[in-house]
Chains A and B, each alone.
Chain A
């Protein structure tokens, strides 16, 4: 079975400081892992994804995530937060042998303090 745990429901950082959003997953199969971002009143947008290639994945807007199988983690990081990064972030896992089951975490709300 697949599941995702986002360890923090809210994260607050100062502008220009690093961002760390934590995600742990459980999967019976080789997982694909995703991070999506949802800005207020907007649809979800893909930030980055891991699909069994390079374990360090770079995404849009300076975000990156590292797949660590031994820790079953896929934490999202950014070296320097920008005001526009304030949004809801969702970690998602799917089993690569099926196309119809994506498991979403409950989300992490990121606040950026000026």
Chain B
């Protein structure tokens, strides 16, 4: 079946502009994660959605970052007033029920470049 998809695959924006990144998880997966991968770094947790529970936003680096998940499926990560340090690859992953022993299925990522 279809895997996790993300769009756009690449995004170039100017400093100060807002961007929206989209993630379509695997159908039926109740858990969805956003991560940020900067050059030479591991994955940095951003936010976690599990079913209808309140999302865990503890990883969001500033209030310029927000995310929502509509209808328990598609998620959008929004970065307002982008800064150059926001340049990174943003990865989305989903898992069946969000348990700590489950496999996460990753999308190909959105590569964001802020000029």
| Bound Cα distance from A43 to B94, whole angstroms | 12
Contacts of A98 in B (CB 8 A): 100
Interface residues on B, range: 20 to 34
Q: Does B42 reach chain A (CB closer than 8 Å)?
A: yes
Total of A-B residue pairs, C-beta within 8 Å = 68
In the complex, which of the residues B44, B93, B108 contacts A42, with contact meaning CB atoms closer than 8 Å?
A: B108
B100 touching A97 by the CB < 8 A rule?
yes
B108 touching A99 by the CB < 8 A rule?
no
A99 touching B31 by the CB < 8 A rule?
yes
Q: Give the A-binding residues of B (Cβ under 8 A).
A: 3-4, 31, 33, 35, 40-45, 48, 50, 56, 91, 93, 95, 97-104, 106-109
A-B contact pairs, 5 of them (CB 8 A): A4-B42, A96-B100, A99-B31, A100-B50, A104-B43
